[in-house]
Structures are given as C-alpha cells and as structure tokens.
Structure 1
Amino acid sequence: MENQPKPELIARIFIDSNNAHSFRSQFANVGLNFSVIEKGSANQSYAPNFLTSLDAVNQKMEEYSNIALTSSVEKGSDHSDKPVRFLGYDLEMNGASRSLAFHKIERFVKTVKPVIRRAEKIASDEGINMNSFAGYSMAILKSLKVKSITFEDYSEKQGVTRWKTYPLMDLPELLEKAKAMAVEL
C-alpha cells in the first residue's frame, strides 16, 4: 500500500476589497481561510502541496478548509481622525463552499461548534483576549492546530515569494498589515 501524505492545516490571510457600501462608508474584508497541505511542504520558495479528499485527507480536516474567519475594515469615512479598526468578526463558510444547502450548513455548524469551544478554553488558559479580531483569530488558529500562515499579497508586496510562511506568533502583526493594505485598496 502506498504511503498516504500526512495533512496539516495552514492559514492564509486574504483581503477582499469588494467595496461594500453602508451609507457613506466603504468596507473591505480581511480574513483567514484554511488549506490542507502535505505536512512539511510549506516552503519559502514554492507552493505547498495542497491536499484534497482525493488524497485521503480525513473528513474533519477537509471540513476545516471550508471555514473562513472574516472581519470588515472601514476604507474611508468623513471622520478621518478615527483610527482604522476591525469592525466585527466571525467564523463563516468560505466562499468556495458557501451554500444554503441544509446538509452543508448542518455540517458546517457541527464542525465549528467544537472549534469555538476549544478556542474559548485555550483563550481562558493562555489569557488570550477574544474580544479583538487578533485575539479571536489566534485562539481559533490554536484550536485548529495551525502552525504557519501565508499572506500572499503582503509577501509579494515585500518582494519575496508569495508562499513565504510566517509563524503563528506573527499573526497580530500580519493582521495589522492586512488592515492597512485593505484601507489602501
């Protein structure tokens, strides 16, 4: 029998400059989605080996790749003295799997509930403030056992390969960079 690749979850920071409007304000979304990769294939110079159910990835790991964690950033307002900040955040179905089919929604809820419970316990044990997007994201990523993050837009802007991986401890700083980039778009 052929050796099956061992999966691991990697977080990918994204910016969606969809330009949603609310009265006089424009919003962009900043968030994280998740990909299943072959363990140890995250590299600084080339794309990791992405895995799917065809690669015998367990169902729970595959379900985690259907989760996105998003927050809105106000791109511009009449109140330029207000600091730019994240406005609300939550777990949701990622765009690729978003559907109103009941079985998908039910599976998503069953997947997310234990993730949130574990994140709350981790936050309590480690003193993580889940009342901020960075804190909530950190607890969720620890709950999912994510070890590394990619931020393709930022890496390319820095002149390094888009697949550069960052350690989990860099998450708060990377989210701040994402917020700043979202406002610029």
Structure 2
Amino acid sequence: MKLLEDRILQEGQVRPGNILKVDCFLNHQLDVELLSKIGEEFYRIFKDDGINKILTIEASGIAIACMTAQYFKVPVVFAKKAKSKNIDGDVFTSKVQSFTYGKEYDITLAKKFLSPADKVLVLDDFLANGKAMKGLLDVCEQAGAQVGGIGICIEKGFQPGGAELRAAGYKLASLAIVDSMSDDGLTFRKQ
C-alpha cells in the first residue's frame, strides 16, 4: 500500500535493534484518515472470505481492527495482555513473547466472544517474528474458530514471522513489507 509506505518513509524512525517507530501515525498518535484507508484495503482483500469477526491484541491493534470492522460490519474482539478482574467466566489463554518489549506475557480472551461459528480476520500493526500472531492463532484454535485471513500493516520481511505463516497456509496480507532497515533508512519489498 503505497500510502502507508510513503508515511513510513516520511515519518517513521529506524531505531537500534530493528525497531521501526511509527508512533506518530499508527500506534500511539493515530491518523484516523490513514487508518480508515487501511481498513478499506483490508476489506478489499478479505471481503469474499466470509469474515464474521475481527480479532486483534491490545493495544496497538485495536484502532486498526475497529476501522476495518466498519467496512465488514462485524464485531471486533481483542485479546488482553493480562487477565483483569473484569473478565468474567472462562477464558482462552496463550503465551506470547513480545519482540518490542522483550518479555513474555499471557494473553486472554473471554470464551463467550469466540466460537466454532466464527470465521476470523486476525489483524495487527506489526509482524516480526510472529509470536503475537501465533498466540492469537492459538486462541482461535482453542475456540474452534476458523481463520479466514491475517492482515498486517507493517511486516518486517527480513524476520521469519511472515514466511512461517505463509508456509503454514494462511492467507496473509501485509500492506507494507520492509525488506531491510539500517541507520541509512529502509527498503520495501515490491508487491
């Protein structure tokens, strides 16, 4: 998606440790117009896949999921990074290793929000090693929900997450795939 790539080039910052900082428009301060176009693009890609629910993980995926859901006209559910006191009843849980934060945590989702009747579009802002996505896919498997597709705003193509998900047979759409990052900038994969 050229619009997203252009914003990354204009406002993104490459940080040590293969960190791409895009907090001024995607995952801290939000450019709602850009997010709407991202949601519309995910809808274009997955509209014929029978999606009836969108799943993401807190916190950065929520805005992307909500903007996408307005096109699908389906609910959004999100896995929480900690079981809070306000989650009642049974929950699905999975362990996730965060690339950005360098720590492991449990994600939880109330069982009442995901079932075998669901065909899910799983969305997130970044895909690097794929640990968060694997946790979300594990939750889908526990629920018996079918994964209709995976949508990623920015994939780090030089890390294994995307290749592993494609090899596993998932329909994966990444709107911008970064092939390389250095202090001198970054390059995108031609799609």
TM over 0.5: no
Structure with the greater alpha carbon radius of gyration: 1
Larger relative contact order, structure 1 or 2 (CA cutoff 8 Å, min sep 6): 1
TM normalised by structure 1 equals 0.28
Which structure has the highest helix share of the two?
1
